[in-house]
Structure 1
Amino acid sequence: MSGAVIRRLTGAELLARPQDVRRVYAEAFAGPPWFEDASAADGFIRRLTDDVTRDGFTAAGAFRGDTLVGLATAWTTPAPFPADRSYAQVAAAFGAGRTARWLCGSLEVDELALATAARGQGAGAALLDSVAADAPGGRCRLLTSGRARDAIGFYRRAGWVQAVHPAGDGTGIVVLLGPRHPARTAVGSL
Protein backbone atom coordinates (compact mmCIF):
# COMPACT_ATOMS: atom_id res chain seq x y z
CA MET A 1 0.00 0.00 0.00
CA SER A 2 2.95 2.29 -0.57
CA GLY A 3 3.49 3.31 3.02
CA ALA A 4 -0.11 4.27 3.93
CA VAL A 5 -1.20 3.06 7.35
CA ILE A 6 -4.92 2.68 8.10
CA ARG A 7 -6.12 3.77 11.53
CA ARG A 8 -9.62 3.78 12.98
CA LEU A 9 -10.50 7.28 14.16
CA THR A 10 -13.05 8.70 16.56
CA GLY A 11 -15.15 11.61 15.46
CA ALA A 12 -13.12 13.90 17.73
CA GLU A 13 -9.86 12.71 16.16
CA LEU A 14 -11.19 13.38 12.67
CA LEU A 15 -12.57 16.80 13.61
CA ALA A 16 -9.20 17.71 15.18
CA ARG A 17 -7.67 17.63 11.64
CA PRO A 18 -9.94 20.03 9.70
CA GLN A 19 -7.24 21.21 7.28
CA ASP A 20 -6.20 17.64 6.43
CA VAL A 21 -9.82 16.51 6.05
CA ARG A 22 -10.65 19.54 3.91
CA ARG A 23 -7.59 18.95 1.68
CA VAL A 24 -8.30 15.24 1.15
CA TYR A 25 -12.00 15.83 0.46
CA ALA A 26 -11.32 18.71 -1.95
CA GLU A 27 -8.74 16.71 -3.87
CA ALA A 28 -10.93 13.61 -4.04
CA PHE A 29 -13.99 15.40 -5.41
CA ALA A 30 -12.49 18.19 -7.54
CA GLY A 31 -12.34 16.12 -10.73
CA PRO A 32 -14.87 14.17 -12.76
CA PRO A 33 -17.60 13.25 -12.26
CA TRP A 34 -18.03 15.49 -9.20
CA PHE A 35 -16.31 18.78 -10.16
CA GLU A 36 -16.83 20.19 -6.66
CA ASP A 37 -15.20 23.47 -5.77
CA ALA A 38 -13.43 24.28 -2.49
CA SER A 39 -16.68 25.37 -0.84
CA ALA A 40 -17.90 21.74 -1.02
CA ALA A 41 -15.00 20.70 1.23
CA ASP A 42 -16.05 23.38 3.71
CA GLY A 43 -19.58 21.99 3.55
CA PHE A 44 -18.25 18.51 4.27
CA ILE A 45 -16.47 19.80 7.38
CA ARG A 46 -19.75 21.38 8.56
CA ARG A 47 -21.68 18.13 7.86
CA LEU A 48 -19.00 16.08 9.59
CA THR A 49 -19.59 18.03 12.80
CA ASP A 50 -23.12 16.60 12.86
CA ASP A 51 -22.25 13.23 11.34
CA VAL A 52 -19.87 12.29 14.16
CA THR A 53 -22.85 12.36 16.55
CA ARG A 54 -24.86 9.81 14.53
CA ASP A 55 -25.49 6.38 16.00
CA GLY A 56 -22.79 3.91 15.04
CA PHE A 57 -20.46 6.57 13.59
CA THR A 58 -17.12 5.12 12.59
CA ALA A 59 -14.21 6.54 10.64
CA ALA A 60 -10.83 5.50 9.37
CA GLY A 61 -7.90 7.44 8.02
CA ALA A 62 -5.05 6.51 5.71
CA PHE A 63 -1.80 8.09 6.86
CA ARG A 64 1.67 8.51 5.47
CA GLY A 65 3.60 9.48 8.55
CA ASP A 66 1.34 12.03 10.24
CA THR A 67 -0.24 13.19 6.96
CA LEU A 68 -3.81 12.16 6.25
CA VAL A 69 -4.06 10.92 2.64
CA GLY A 70 -7.49 9.28 2.77
CA LEU A 71 -10.58 8.93 4.92
CA ALA A 72 -13.79 6.96 5.18
CA THR A 73 -16.84 7.61 7.33
CA ALA A 74 -19.91 5.49 8.08
CA TRP A 75 -22.84 5.26 10.48
CA THR A 76 -25.89 3.16 11.25
CA THR A 77 -28.93 3.86 9.08
CA PRO A 78 -31.86 4.80 11.32
CA ALA A 79 -35.38 3.42 11.28
CA PRO A 80 -37.61 4.72 9.95
CA PHE A 81 -35.54 5.16 6.80
CA PRO A 82 -34.64 8.83 6.22
CA ALA A 83 -36.43 10.83 3.53
CA ASP A 84 -33.87 13.61 3.02
CA ARG A 85 -30.94 13.72 0.58
CA SER A 86 -31.24 10.82 -1.91
CA TYR A 87 -32.96 8.46 0.50
CA ALA A 88 -36.48 8.87 -0.92
CA GLN A 89 -35.22 7.72 -4.33
CA VAL A 90 -33.52 4.71 -2.73
CA ALA A 91 -36.62 3.77 -0.72
CA ALA A 92 -38.75 3.96 -3.87
CA ALA A 93 -36.35 1.66 -5.73
CA PHE A 94 -36.20 -0.92 -2.93
CA GLY A 95 -39.80 -0.77 -1.74
CA ALA A 96 -40.86 -0.47 1.88
CA GLY A 97 -40.23 -4.10 2.90
CA ARG A 98 -36.73 -4.39 1.46
CA THR A 99 -35.82 -0.93 2.72
CA ALA A 100 -36.75 -1.94 6.26
CA ARG A 101 -35.07 -5.37 6.10
CA TRP A 102 -31.95 -4.57 4.07
CA LEU A 103 -31.17 -0.95 4.83
CA CYS A 104 -32.53 0.16 8.21
CA GLY A 105 -30.00 -0.78 10.88
CA SER A 106 -27.29 -1.35 8.27
CA LEU A 107 -24.01 0.49 8.22
CA GLU A 108 -23.98 3.21 5.56
CA VAL A 109 -20.58 4.18 4.19
CA ASP A 110 -21.07 7.89 3.64
CA GLU A 111 -17.70 9.09 2.36
CA LEU A 112 -14.59 7.51 0.93
CA ALA A 113 -12.03 10.07 -0.17
CA LEU A 114 -8.42 9.66 -1.28
CA ALA A 115 -5.76 12.18 -2.17
CA THR A 116 -4.57 11.68 -5.73
CA ALA A 117 -1.13 10.43 -4.63
CA ALA A 118 -2.76 7.68 -2.54
CA ARG A 119 -4.92 6.20 -5.30
CA GLY A 120 -4.30 2.83 -6.89
CA GLN A 121 -2.24 1.54 -3.97
CA GLY A 122 -4.82 -0.30 -1.87
CA ALA A 123 -5.59 2.48 0.61
CA GLY A 124 -9.18 2.90 -0.63
CA ALA A 125 -10.00 -0.79 -0.24
CA ALA A 126 -8.33 -0.86 3.18
CA LEU A 127 -10.32 2.18 4.34
CA LEU A 128 -13.55 0.61 3.10
CA ASP A 129 -12.75 -2.68 4.87
CA SER A 130 -11.89 -0.83 8.07
CA VAL A 131 -15.17 1.08 8.39
CA ALA A 132 -17.26 -1.90 7.21
CA ALA A 133 -15.60 -4.44 9.53
CA ASP A 134 -18.14 -4.07 12.32
CA ALA A 135 -21.27 -3.79 10.17
CA PRO A 136 -24.14 -5.44 12.07
CA GLY A 137 -24.66 -8.91 10.60
CA GLY A 138 -22.46 -7.88 7.66
CA ARG A 139 -25.15 -5.42 6.56
CA CYS A 140 -23.15 -2.62 4.96
CA ARG A 141 -24.13 -0.44 2.01
CA LEU A 142 -23.31 2.77 0.21
CA LEU A 143 -24.77 5.17 -2.31
CA THR A 144 -22.97 6.78 -5.21
CA SER A 145 -23.82 8.56 -8.41
CA GLY A 146 -24.40 6.61 -11.59
CA ARG A 147 -21.94 9.04 -13.20
CA ALA A 148 -19.13 7.74 -10.93
CA ARG A 149 -18.21 4.83 -13.19
CA ASP A 150 -14.64 4.52 -11.86
CA ALA A 151 -15.92 4.44 -8.28
CA ILE A 152 -18.56 1.84 -9.13
CA GLY A 153 -15.89 -0.31 -10.78
CA PHE A 154 -13.69 0.05 -7.70
CA TYR A 155 -16.53 -1.05 -5.39
CA ARG A 156 -17.32 -4.04 -7.59
CA ARG A 157 -13.67 -5.13 -7.57
CA ALA A 158 -13.78 -4.84 -3.76
CA GLY A 159 -16.66 -7.35 -3.69
CA TRP A 160 -19.62 -4.97 -3.46
CA VAL A 161 -22.79 -5.80 -5.44
CA GLN A 162 -24.82 -3.19 -7.26
CA ALA A 163 -28.41 -3.43 -6.00
CA VAL A 164 -30.04 -0.39 -7.61
CA HIS A 165 -29.11 0.81 -11.06
CA PRO A 166 -29.25 4.41 -12.22
CA ALA A 167 -31.67 5.74 -14.82
CA GLY A 168 -31.08 4.71 -18.41
CA ASP A 169 -29.08 7.86 -19.08
CA GLY A 170 -26.57 6.86 -16.36
CA THR A 171 -27.65 9.51 -13.89
CA GLY A 172 -29.19 8.93 -10.52
CA ILE A 173 -28.27 6.91 -7.49
CA VAL A 174 -26.55 3.55 -7.40
CA VAL A 175 -26.84 1.45 -4.23
CA LEU A 176 -24.16 -1.13 -3.52
CA LEU A 177 -24.33 -3.84 -0.85
CA GLY A 178 -21.15 -4.86 0.93
CA PRO A 179 -19.39 -8.21 0.51
CA ARG A 180 -21.00 -9.70 3.64
CA HIS A 181 -24.50 -8.20 3.26
CA PRO A 182 -26.95 -11.12 3.50
CA ALA A 183 -29.21 -9.65 0.77
CA ARG A 184 -26.47 -9.49 -1.87
CA THR A 185 -27.69 -12.74 -3.42
CA ALA A 186 -31.27 -11.43 -3.66
CA VAL A 187 -30.53 -8.22 -5.58
CA GLY A 188 -31.73 -9.75 -8.83
CA SER A 189 -35.25 -9.73 -7.40
CA LEU A 190 -35.45 -5.93 -7.38
Structure 2
Amino acid sequence: MDHASALRSVYADAFCAPPWNEGAERAAEFAGRLTGNVRRPGFTAALAVEGREVVGFATAWTTLAPFPTDRCYPQAAAGLGPRRTTEWLCGAREIDELAVRPVARGTGLAGDLLAAVTEGAPGGRSWLLTSVRSPRAVSFYRRQGWTQATHPSPEGRGIVVFLGPRHPARALAPQPL
Protein backbone atom coordinates (compact mmCIF):
# COMPACT_ATOMS: atom_id res chain seq x y z
CA MET A 1 0.00 0.00 0.00
CA ASP A 2 1.44 3.40 -0.91
CA HIS A 3 1.53 6.19 1.68
CA ALA A 4 -1.41 8.10 0.19
CA SER A 5 -3.62 5.00 0.29
CA ALA A 6 -2.47 4.18 3.82
CA LEU A 7 -3.20 7.71 5.06
CA ARG A 8 -6.61 7.70 3.38
CA SER A 9 -7.35 4.35 5.05
CA VAL A 10 -6.35 5.61 8.51
CA TYR A 11 -8.39 8.77 7.96
CA ALA A 12 -11.43 6.67 7.00
CA ASP A 13 -11.00 4.41 10.05
CA ALA A 14 -10.80 7.43 12.34
CA PHE A 15 -13.43 9.73 10.85
CA CYS A 16 -16.00 7.69 8.92
CA ALA A 17 -17.44 6.20 12.12
CA PRO A 18 -19.45 8.04 14.79
CA PRO A 19 -19.29 10.71 16.04
CA TRP A 20 -17.65 12.19 12.93
CA ASN A 21 -19.64 10.20 10.34
CA GLU A 22 -17.62 11.44 7.39
CA GLY A 23 -18.07 9.46 4.21
CA ALA A 24 -15.43 7.80 2.06
CA GLU A 25 -15.48 10.85 -0.22
CA ARG A 26 -14.18 12.97 2.69
CA ALA A 27 -11.26 10.56 3.14
CA ALA A 28 -10.50 10.93 -0.57
CA GLU A 29 -10.75 14.74 -0.23
CA PHE A 30 -8.26 14.60 2.64
CA ALA A 31 -5.79 12.63 0.52
CA GLY A 32 -6.25 15.13 -2.30
CA ARG A 33 -5.69 18.12 0.02
CA LEU A 34 -2.57 16.54 1.44
CA THR A 35 -0.55 17.06 -1.74
CA GLY A 36 -1.20 20.81 -1.49
CA ASN A 37 -0.82 20.93 2.28
CA VAL A 38 2.76 19.64 2.18
CA ARG A 39 3.68 22.88 0.39
CA ARG A 40 2.33 25.09 3.20
CA PRO A 41 4.90 27.06 5.19
CA GLY A 42 6.01 25.14 8.27
CA PHE A 43 4.37 21.89 7.17
CA THR A 44 5.25 18.96 9.38
CA ALA A 45 3.86 15.46 9.76
CA ALA A 46 4.33 12.41 11.91
CA LEU A 47 3.58 8.86 10.84
CA ALA A 48 3.13 5.82 13.10
CA VAL A 49 3.85 2.42 11.62
CA GLU A 50 3.45 -1.01 13.21
CA GLY A 51 5.14 -3.68 11.18
CA ARG A 52 4.24 -2.68 7.65
CA GLU A 53 0.92 -1.01 8.52
CA VAL A 54 0.34 2.71 9.05
CA VAL A 55 -1.66 3.01 12.27
CA GLY A 56 -1.71 6.78 12.75
CA PHE A 57 -0.59 10.18 11.53
CA ALA A 58 -0.68 13.87 12.37
CA THR A 59 -0.20 16.91 10.14
CA ALA A 60 0.43 20.55 11.00
CA TRP A 61 1.65 23.81 9.50
CA THR A 62 2.06 27.50 10.29
CA THR A 63 -1.15 29.55 10.20
CA LEU A 64 -0.51 32.56 8.02
CA ALA A 65 -1.97 36.06 8.24
CA PRO A 66 -4.49 37.11 7.27
CA PHE A 67 -6.38 34.38 9.11
CA PRO A 68 -8.02 31.95 6.66
CA THR A 69 -11.71 32.24 5.87
CA ASP A 70 -12.45 28.75 4.50
CA ARG A 71 -13.43 25.50 6.28
CA CYS A 72 -14.19 26.09 10.01
CA TYR A 73 -11.92 29.11 10.40
CA PRO A 74 -14.75 31.68 10.57
CA GLN A 75 -16.20 29.89 13.62
CA ALA A 76 -12.81 30.00 15.34
CA ALA A 77 -12.38 33.69 14.57
CA ALA A 78 -15.90 34.47 15.81
CA GLY A 79 -15.17 32.69 19.09
CA LEU A 80 -11.88 34.49 19.69
CA GLY A 81 -12.51 37.88 18.14
CA PRO A 82 -10.22 39.58 15.61
CA ARG A 83 -7.39 40.66 17.95
CA ARG A 84 -6.99 37.31 19.73
CA THR A 85 -7.33 35.40 16.46
CA THR A 86 -4.42 37.33 14.96
CA GLU A 87 -2.26 37.38 18.10
CA TRP A 88 -2.88 33.82 19.26
CA LEU A 89 -3.25 31.85 16.02
CA CYS A 90 -1.44 33.61 13.16
CA GLY A 91 2.19 32.54 13.05
CA ALA A 92 1.44 29.54 15.33
CA ARG A 93 1.65 25.82 14.53
CA GLU A 94 -1.82 24.65 13.50
CA ILE A 95 -2.60 20.97 13.97
CA ASP A 96 -4.72 20.04 10.97
CA GLU A 97 -5.29 16.31 11.36
CA LEU A 98 -4.64 13.70 14.03
CA ALA A 99 -5.89 10.21 13.31
CA VAL A 100 -5.21 6.75 14.68
CA ARG A 101 -6.79 3.44 13.82
CA PRO A 102 -9.26 2.15 16.42
CA VAL A 103 -6.87 -0.67 17.39
CA ALA A 104 -4.28 1.92 18.42
CA ARG A 105 -6.57 4.01 20.62
CA GLY A 106 -5.71 4.12 24.28
CA THR A 107 -2.07 3.21 23.64
CA GLY A 108 -0.58 6.70 23.91
CA LEU A 109 0.06 6.81 20.17
CA ALA A 110 -2.19 9.85 19.54
CA GLY A 111 -0.40 11.79 22.28
CA ASP A 112 2.97 10.86 20.80
CA LEU A 113 1.88 12.01 17.32
CA LEU A 114 0.52 15.27 18.73
CA ALA A 115 3.78 15.89 20.60
CA ALA A 116 5.80 15.14 17.46
CA VAL A 117 4.04 17.74 15.31
CA THR A 118 4.02 20.41 18.02
CA GLU A 119 7.70 20.04 18.90
CA GLY A 120 9.48 23.19 17.85
CA ALA A 121 6.27 25.22 17.46
CA PRO A 122 7.20 28.92 17.14
CA GLY A 123 7.44 30.33 20.66
CA GLY A 124 5.60 27.23 21.92
CA ARG A 125 2.49 28.44 20.10
CA SER A 126 0.35 25.59 18.78
CA TRP A 127 -3.39 25.33 18.33
CA LEU A 128 -6.14 23.21 16.83
CA LEU A 129 -9.84 23.05 16.10
CA THR A 130 -12.08 20.15 17.04
CA SER A 131 -15.78 19.50 16.97
CA VAL A 132 -17.86 19.28 20.09
CA ARG A 133 -19.55 16.27 18.47
CA SER A 134 -16.70 14.25 19.93
CA PRO A 135 -16.50 14.50 23.70
CA ARG A 136 -13.76 11.87 23.45
CA ALA A 137 -11.58 14.21 21.36
CA VAL A 138 -12.27 17.17 23.66
CA SER A 139 -11.33 15.07 26.71
CA PHE A 140 -8.22 13.76 24.97
CA TYR A 141 -6.88 17.26 24.27
CA ARG A 142 -7.56 18.33 27.83
CA ARG A 143 -5.67 15.28 29.15
CA GLN A 144 -2.76 16.23 26.89
CA GLY A 145 -2.58 19.63 28.61
CA TRP A 146 -4.34 21.67 25.93
CA THR A 147 -6.56 24.60 26.97
CA GLN A 148 -9.97 25.17 25.43
CA ALA A 149 -9.97 28.80 24.27
CA THR A 150 -13.46 29.06 22.78
CA HIS A 151 -16.75 27.60 23.87
CA PRO A 152 -19.60 26.30 21.76
CA SER A 153 -23.01 27.84 21.52
CA PRO A 154 -25.48 26.98 24.30
CA GLU A 155 -26.89 24.28 22.02
CA GLY A 156 -23.44 22.65 22.08
CA ARG A 157 -22.87 22.75 18.34
CA GLY A 158 -19.82 23.71 16.38
CA ILE A 159 -16.10 23.73 16.90
CA VAL A 160 -13.80 24.76 19.68
CA VAL A 161 -10.25 26.13 19.60
CA PHE A 162 -7.60 24.55 21.82
CA LEU A 163 -4.25 26.16 22.64
CA GLY A 164 -1.24 23.90 23.12
CA PRO A 165 0.41 23.24 26.49
CA ARG A 166 3.21 25.76 25.87
CA HIS A 167 1.11 28.45 24.17
CA PRO A 168 1.75 31.73 26.04
CA ALA A 169 -1.92 32.80 25.76
CA ARG A 170 -3.28 29.75 27.62
CA ALA A 171 -3.83 31.71 30.83
CA LEU A 172 -5.74 34.38 28.89
CA ALA A 173 -8.29 31.97 27.44
CA PRO A 174 -11.82 32.65 28.72
CA GLN A 175 -13.14 29.93 30.99
CA PRO A 176 -16.73 28.71 30.62
CA LEU A 177 -19.37 30.12 32.93
Q: TM-score, normalised by structure 2?
A: 0.95
Is residue 43 of structure 2 the alignment partner of residue 45 of structure 1? no
Structure 1 residues 152, 69: CA separation in 2 closer, same or farther (over 3 Å shift)? same
- 1:189 deviates by 7.2
Q: Which residue of 2 aligns with 1:183?
A: 169
Distance 1:77 1:34 in 2: 24
Please list every run of 5 or more consecutive structure 2 residues that lacks an aligned counterpart in the other structure.
Answer: none
Distance 1:20 1:172 in 2: 29
- 1:66 deviates by 2.6
Please list every run of 5 or more consecutive structure 1 residues that lacks an aligned counterpart in the other structure.
Answer: 1-15
Q: Which residue of 2 aligns with 1:8?
A: none
Q: Which residue of 2 aligns with 1:119?
A: 105
Is residue 141 of structure 2 the alignment partner of residue 152 of structure 1? no
1:71 to 57, 80, 92: 57
Distance 1:145 1:160 in 2: 15
Q: Which residue of 2 aligns with 1:107?
A: 93
1:129 to 115, 118, 137: 115
SS in 2 for 1:159: coil
Distance 2:8 2:78 in 1: 33
Question: What's the Cα RMSD here?
Answer: 1.3
Percent identity over paired residues: 55
1:146–1:165 Cα contact (<8 Å) kept:
no
Q: TM-score, normalised by structure 1?
A: 0.89
Is residue 124 of structure 2 the alignment partner of residue 138 of structure 1? yes
Distance 1:93 1:113 in 2: 25
The CA deviation string for residues 80-117 of structure 1, in whole angstroms up to 9 with x for no partner, is 11111111121122111111110100000000000111
The CA deviation string for residues 65-89 of structure 1, in whole angstroms up to 9 with x for no partner, is 2311000000000011111111112
Structure 1 runs (4+) greater than 4 angstroms displaced? none
Distance 1:33 1:41 in 2: 15
Number of residue pairs aligned between Structure 1 and Structure 2:
175
SS in 2 for 1:188: coil
SS in 1 for 2:30: helix
